[in-house]
């Protein structure tokens, strides 16, 4: 797993989302093999980044939960 901080993941997700819209537009216009693979690549990237962010959120939630237990 890559080490991203929260801001990096948000920035990367934003960039990936914009790239997805561009690739999806290309796919909708051309329906070519290259466009298909390009849009699939961006979707996989978004999925990977979303998974990393989800892990961060869960870790933060669990830490807060443990802190409340300790009090």
Q: What is the pLDDT of residues 33-65, one digit of tens each?
A: 999 999 999 999 999 999 999 999 899 999 999
Q: What is the pTM of this model?
A: 0.80
Mean confidence (pLDDT) of the chain:
91
Cα dihedral 36/19/43/30 (nearest 10)? -20
Binned at pLDDT 50, 70 and 90, residue 1 comes out as very low
Rounded Cα–Cα distance for residues 20 and 67 (Å)? 39
């Amino acid at each position: 797993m890559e080490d991203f901080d929260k801001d990096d993941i948000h920035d990367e997700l934003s960039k990936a989302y914009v790239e997805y819209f561009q690739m999806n537009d290309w796919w909708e216009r051309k329906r070519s093999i290259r466009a298909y693979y390009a849009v699939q690549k961006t979707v996989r990237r978004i999925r990977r980044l979303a998974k990393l962010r989800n892990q961060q959120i869960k870790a933060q939630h669990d830490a807060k939960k443990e802190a409340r237990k300790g009090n």
